[in-house]
Structure 1
Amino acid sequence: MDNGRAAMNLAVLLALIVSLLFAQQPKQVVVTGAVPDAAGGSLTITGENFGFVPFVTLNLVPLTIDAVGGNRIVAVAPIKSMPAGTYVLTVSYGPSPQETGSFQLVLGDANDSRSQSSSDVPAPSISGASTDAAARVADRVITVADVDREWQRRDPAGYLGLIRQLYDNRRRIVDVMVADELLAREAASRGLTTEALLKEEIPKRTITMPESAVVSLYQSLGDLTRGATLEQMKPALRAWLERISEPEVAKMNYVEELMKVSARAEVFLAPPRVQVDRTPQDATLGSDSAPVVLVAFGDLVSASYARFAQAFSKLTETFDGRVRLVFKNLPLVGPGSIAAAEAAQCANARGRFWQYHNAVVLPPGAVDAVRLKQAAADAGLDRAAFDACVERRQYQSVIKDAIDEAARYGIKSVPSFLVNGRLAPDPPPFLPPFDFLKRVVEEELSRQTRKP
């Protein structure tokens, strides 16, 4: 009798445990729609299984939740000030894929006809030929080339900035034109539309990005996370990579394949370059005869710079003898940045720059006065001589000159990189620093072997 009762109690207990386990299984979040309210500054989201405390992001920016009830969320969003386009909306209540749902929200008309130039109106030329006359004074003709030379002399950074902007826009458009032409030719050869071709080929090349891409994307957001942790943001970050970055990379890789096997295609548009000064204060890694010189403008207090600095040693080892890294101080964060830059020059004067640099930027955490002094000990510096150099502010004028030098090159942020004199583009937010720098160096090496 007792044995039967015990067996029955055990069966009831097991049934209860199983039911609890099933009850705790996460339910798939489904976002079915989102209605923006520009006047009210809100976004009403509909769907299923939002949970009690959902976490909502719009293009990776966390939104404040105004109300949650049933299958409806009302979030605060500055709809009126947001430009037309497609936005990625995510809702999550936990870290698993089942606890996350995403939706592509279209605001306005992303293909607004007002943004298209009319074919009936002739487009203005950006500039005339360098020999064209810009002005005449008596018998002297002032050419466009004369104006440009004087502009460069009076405002070198402003001139360089405009030239770079012109190149960046031309390069962006030429890349689109080349891709469109290659895809159109391939589609025609297979009797498909371009849309059908991409629908068939892109999924084959879409690869799930690694966890390092999630972390890199999170770090690139900075204050836009509004204090949200990496764990809170992971569902939104992964949704962004799946909906935006992974298809874009797959398409880019497919276009690169077509450039090699379908129709020969090359881009010859030359980027603007500057002649970079070599100064005794520069710290270097790598061979002096390397074909690629990568100049890094850095602030030892900047967390963004520190992310890239961790890749420097691996980069020079990977391209053994083919890349030379040059560090130039550009303290921008505040007085602490100036102090760190001056201290680094004290270390540089004693032949211990990279040891000191790494001791400052590689450990996690904020860089403060305590870190700067501890780094001197970690770098094997004579503390008395080092402290005396720092206290005298022996390199104050050197750092000021470094800031002025960066301004001449049009460098305004850190980290910034000049690759054989050309400004490297902004890194894709999902790309880890080493992968970005490796790609930049490989592209420059490729340019050197390519002839128009």
Structure 2
Amino acid sequence: MRGTRAVRAAWAVAVAALVLVSLPGVAFGQAAPLRIVDATPDLAAGTITIAGSGFGTRPFVTLDLVPLNVQLALDQRVIAAAPLGMMPAGRYLLTVTRGERPGDTASVDLQVGSVSAAATPSPSTGSAAASSRAADAPPASAAPLVSPMPAPGDVAARVGDRTITLAELDREWQRTDPSGYLAASRELYDARRRLLTDMVNSELLAREAASRRVTVDALLAEELPKRSVPLPDNALTTLYQSMGDRTRGASLEQLRPALREWLARKVEPDLARMTYLEELTKVSTNADILLLSPRVEVEHRADDPTLGPASAPVELVLFGDFQSPAYARQAATLGRVRDMFGTRIRIVFKPFPVNDPASLAAAEAAACANAQGKFWPFHDTLLGAAGALDDARFQKVASEAGLDRPGFARCVEGHEMRDRVTSALDEARRYDIPAPGSILVNGRLAPEAPAFLPTFEYFKRLVEEELARQAREGRR
């Protein structure tokens, strides 16, 4: 009897030990958190040596989300290869992960290309106030002053009794090189807009801080954490898709911890700051940015595929390539955008097949469908179907979209729409369109979509900002 009791007691102890080991909260059953103590870049060797603990045997290392080749992996030291000599000087987010559990990922800000090339570990969520202070800090040295930019009426040259003004010079530039003039104008606008936005934001924060009798840093430290919200998983997916070849073949699951770190450290604090500044703009101070981006007069052709009334206050001109992932994401959201804004928006499609001959063939096929009044059914079906962009697929899509097959086949095989597509390409170049997926909002080139922002939210922001601009102009 005593022997049986002893056996049972020993068995109970063994089972209890196994249960305790399996519980996640028990220290000896859980791996220690991954920690980065230091990271040192070696520009000559093209490597980063990372010191810490808990790296495991197969750490996954990224620098600004780009996966690096790991040359050495020990539990307390990792060496990863990176093209440091080709990288601009600056701070980069270095992330090491060994899995998806809490404690399996750590990040540091790595300084590359400066005298003090050391890493600064910080919490995963980052410090919004510290980020704001860095953004507001004055430059270490001021650039030498230059003469003010000339006004349009200023004289640029004199020849005998003829005076050539800067305005005349600009008109001639527009006539002889419209895309070059537009590119220079947009570059100047972008620089001015960035600086103007910083100036307006600084003024808003200074006024609000003064009204509360606190410093700007104290104001941000109090207000930004209230507005910092973790972005949803679809932001991870959108950010991953925007990386393109920069993923270096890594899957979404492999990059997920690094993507989450990037959003938490880089994006969410900035969004909290933007949200607060928008609130100050609307509530605390009457502040308007009146600087307008360069605008082009868009050529409207009778055969342009369109959605929405010509009287709509907002016109979105989309430059599409059927092989462009960016354009495919845009096209997939057009229905939701139209549902939200109804008759307030008009969508115009312009072919911009710049990837390869298959893109050109798809653009011609879509133009042939447009000639039968079936552009949008063909467009949506082609983007929704997998496979190569070849004649067999075009014919299949044409059948599904309800086209007259013989007429469509003659149009495609005879390249009847080649001139139309070529003309559209020339038009896009006149507007200095940088890539498929670019959008003109009432003739103004839309800013590039933030990598984390879902496409629908991007469209929503573009339309709402244009409607708000029109409302402000109507009040003046």
TM-score normalised per structure 2: 0.89
Give the equivalent residue in structure 2 for 1:388. Answer: 410
**2:203 equivalent to 1:198:** no
After superposition, residues 414-433 of structure 1 pair within 5 angstroms as 414-433=436-455
After superposition, residues 100-111 of structure 1 pair within 5 angstroms as 100-107=105-112, 108=114
Contact 1:309 1:362 (C-alpha < 8 Å) held by counterparts: no
User: 5+ residue gaps in structure 1?
Assistant: none
Deviation at 1:377, TM superposition (A): 2.3
Give the equivalent residue in structure 2 for 1:166. Answer: 188
Deviation at 1:14, TM superposition (A): 4.9
**2:360 equivalent to 1:320:** no
Contact 2:361 2:389 (C-alpha < 8 Å) held by counterparts: no
SS of equivalent residue, structure 2 residue 229: coil
SS of equivalent residue, structure 1 residue 279: coil
For residues 65-99 of structure 1, give each alpha carbon's deviation from its aligned partner in whole angstroms, at most 9, with x where no partner exists. 11112311111112223222221111111123321
Deviation at 1:6, TM superposition (A): 5.8
AA at the equivalent of 2:142: S
Distance, in Å, in 1 between the alignment partners of 2:140 and 2:302 is 50
1:407 to 404, 424, 429: 429
Contact 1:281 1:345 (C-alpha < 8 Å) held by counterparts: no
Contact 1:84 1:106 (C-alpha < 8 Å) held by counterparts: yes
- Report the CA distance shift for 1:142/1:286 in structure 2 as closer, same or farther (over 3 A): same
After superposition, residues 106-255 of structure 1 pair within 5 angstroms as 106-107=111-112, 108=114, 116-118=141-143, 121-126=144-149, 128-255=150-277
Distance, in Å, in 1 between the alignment partners of 2:466 and 2:257 is 36
> Aligned pairs, how many?
449
AA at the equivalent of 1:305: Y
AA at the equivalent of 1:98: G
Distance, in Å, in 2 between the alignment partners of 1:371 and 1:10 is 67
Larger deviation, residues 94-103 vs 44-53: 94-103
For residues 312-343 of structure 1, give each alpha carbon's deviation from its aligned partner in whole angstroms, at most 9, with x where no partner exists. 11111110110000000000110000000000
AA at the equivalent of 1:16: L
AA at the equivalent of 1:408: R
- Report the CA distance shift for 1:69/1:263 in structure 2 as closer, same or farther (over 3 A): same
For residues 330-379 of structure 1, give each alpha carbon's deviation from its aligned partner in whole angstroms, at most 9, with x where no partner exists. 00110000000000011111111111111111346664554433322221
Distance, in Å, in 1 between the alignment partners of 2:85 and 2:162 is 54
Deviation at 1:271, TM superposition (A): 1.5
Give the equivalent residue in structure 2 for 1:52. Answer: 57
Distance, in Å, in 2 between the alignment partners of 1:426 and 1:26 is 42
Distance, in Å, in 1 between the alignment partners of 2:32 and 2:400 is 51
Deviation at 1:63, TM superposition (A): 0.8
- Report the CA distance shift for 1:364/1:189 in structure 2 as closer, same or farther (over 3 A): farther
SS of equivalent residue, structure 1 residue 75: strand
1:68 to 66, 73, 76: 73
Deviation at 1:51, TM superposition (A): 1.5
Contact 1:46 1:73 (C-alpha < 8 Å) held by counterparts: yes
Distance, in Å, in 1 between the alignment partners of 2:393 and 2:106 is 43
Give the equivalent residue in structure 1 for 2:18. Answer: 16
AA at the equivalent of 1:58: L
SS of equivalent residue, structure 2 residue 103: helix
Identical counterparts, % of pairs: 49
**2:288 equivalent to 1:263:** no
Deviation at 1:8, TM superposition (A): 4.1
Distance, in Å, in 1 between the alignment partners of 2:29 and 2:444 is 56
Distance, in Å, in 2 between the alignment partners of 1:369 and 1:103 is 51
Contact 1:91 1:102 (C-alpha < 8 Å) held by counterparts: yes
- Report the CA distance shift for 1:380/1:203 in structure 2 as closer, same or farther (over 3 A): same
**2:398 equivalent to 1:376:** yes
Distance, in Å, in 1 between the alignment partners of 2:288 and 2:218 is 25
SS of equivalent residue, structure 2 residue 61: strand
Distance, in Å, in 1 between the alignment partners of 2:244 and 2:272 is 27
AA at the equivalent of 1:117: A
